[in-house]
Amino acid sequence: MNIPHKNASVVPKPDNSNLVKIVEGRNEHNQPVKVPVVTEIPLTIFLNNQEIVTTMSLGDWPDYLAVGFLKNQNMLNDNDIITGIDVDDDLGVVVVRTQRETDYEEKMKKKIQTSGCAQGTQFGDMMDAVGNITLDPDARIHTSAMMRLIKTINTMPSLYLSAGAIHGCVLAEGDNILAYIEDVGRHNAVDKIAGWMRLNHITGQNKIFYTTGRLTSEMVIKTVQMQIPILVSRSGFTHSGVAMAEQTGLTLIGRARGKRFTALTGCERIIDDHDDDRADDLGDDQGDDQGEKTSPQRAASRS
Amino acid sequence: MNIPHKNASVVPKPDNSNLVKIVEGRNEHNQPVKVPVVTEIPLTIFLNNQEIVTTMSLGDWPDYLAVGFLKNQNMLNDNDIITGIDVDDDLGVVVVRTQRETDYEEKMKKKIQTSGCAQGTQFGDMMDAVGNITLDPDARIHTSAMMRLIKTINTMPSLYLSAGAIHGCVLAEGDNILAYIEDVGRHNAVDKIAGWMRLNHITGQNKIFYTTGRLTSEMVIKTVQMQIPILVSRSGFTHSGVAMAEQTGLTLIGRARGKRFTALTGCERIIDDHDDDRADDLGDDQGDDQGEKTSPQRAASRS
């Protein structure tokens, strides 16, 4: 029996009581209910002796989150030697130490001018960072493997299934899940994957990145920074995300649910090999996601 | 015939070609498709002569977004006199001018230390700001009115219905929609409502705030800042959001779809008057939202 996710190094742990609290409330019939609710706690990231950021996070994998965040902000270079990562759960602090002395005082001053509240962070900087990245032109995604991958993601135990209100990201090779990580912040989930890759020396080439979140400009930039050529989401697109995917040569596949999807850029990497008859029971037909709703209007727009 | 949203001052404009682009791609059958995709463009907000932030936005209502953002960041006080709002669509710039001279150099330095990338912005500051706010204890929400409100929101024309990948926020009084505004960033959508309220002298007391986004700590804080006593979402909760709602006396209602919902705090404001027989056709049973999935596990957790 093929259980692809059994090979994954990191998978969600929905039974971890640190990540889910049971809260009592009332339902629509005014009856008492107990619902599982995901945790959301502040984590402050230091690079050596400099406080960089405080982010609201699920709380697991602070080491991956810190390393991935610093990497995606270009504060940690590919050839930096990490000499230690100290986590203090009580204080909610993680310190990443490098051999190289670091000082991002100037960069952080610049951040004042451009960083957005929940949107648009360090936009110019990040576009600079992806300008010279060439994504693997030979990478391929088979539609049959993609559908198996999505089915696996949607059926394996996760906080997404048990509690909701959370985003998940998956790094995969074909239909094999290498890492599946969740967080209350969709960008935190991406950064955790980036940190896991950095610390485990995993490259993005010929990998597939799956997210439950929307395909915005920031999501595209981070995927390209990780040098992953194919980005798949159950959610939809923004126009800026599509434009940047086009510009960077990323394969962008959205609204991927069950046996349906829409690819807007990099379609040459997609190999259509799925069999409609076999694809009937691939799960995930019920769910809509962030800002996503199947509507008569949208269906009609398919040509 | 009762069409509550006809009274709304601001409603979505899904036919505005500035807000949606048609993009060509391929579907799962390798057939060409044309899909509507929402715009996402940078907007830089100035307060007088100081550049404050650049945010990725849908692009409509830059005036509301700027004023609401500055208000929710406590850079614009309730008694500030706004002398002008200049928008330059080509440059993507909006300048809010006040009679009072403003200088947030120091505040923005502090932001360096605490602002998060897409999460956790100015957390300490915002908790300070809600500490002395008392929400209207006499405000009430009737479950029948809430269900009519949700049906109206889910059936009126919107970018959410036509293109997806967007968040919506609604300010309502009973089942009457006062303003329904969308944005690619869920916090931008909230800020736009806050700006609309500020510029139209609308207070939050006895209003209801509806969001498609999750009920996180930031969402709760912003609702309390707007002095709105009741927050409703189609999405789920984070534990920090619930804890802050408890602390501030906010009524928090999540997973509100069709005739179902879960209330976790402030239940005393909810008046149960809906009739199960009449509530059969209230729409919105198909949709799941950000990180939301109806699962056997979650259903089983209801006691």
Instruction: Give residue-wise pLDDT tens across range A136-189.
Output: 999 999 999 999 999 999 999 999 999 999 999 999 999 999 999 999 998 999
In chain A, which residues have their Cβ closer than 8 Å to the Cβ of B238? 37-40, 165, 184
- ipTM (interface predicted TM): 0.85
Pick the residue from chain B with its C-alpha nearest to A252: B25
**pTM confidence score:** 0.88
Q: Do A113 and B25 touch (CB under 8 A)?
A: no
pLDDT (0 to 100) of residue A6: 58
* Distance separating alpha carbons of residues B253 and B265, to the nearest angstrom: 8
Burial of A79 (0-12, 13-18, 19+ CB in 10 A): exposed
Assigned superfamily of A135-293: Cytidine Deaminase, domain 2 (3.40.140.10)
Angstroms from A28 CA to nearest CA on chain B? 5
* Distance separating alpha carbons of residues B115 and A44, to the nearest angstrom: 10
| Class at the top of the CATH hierarchy for domain B135-300 | alpha beta
pLDDT (0 to 100) of residue A100: 96
Closest residue to B294, CB basis, from A51, A165, A286? A286
* Distance separating alpha carbons of residues B90 and B156, to the nearest angstrom: 31
Strand B41-47 vs strand B93-98: parallel, antiparallel, or unpaired?
A: parallel
Encoded tokens for A234 = 């159950």
Pick the residue from chain B with its C-alpha nearest to A58: B238
Ranges of each domain in chain A = 135-293
The shares of helix, strand and coil residues in chain B, as percent rounded to the nearest 5, are: 30, 30, 40
* Distance separating alpha carbons of residues A118 and B194, to the nearest angstrom: 16
Instruction: Give residue-wise pLDDT tens across range B35-91.
Output: 999 999 999 999 999 999 888 999 999 999 999 999 998 899 999 999 999 999 999
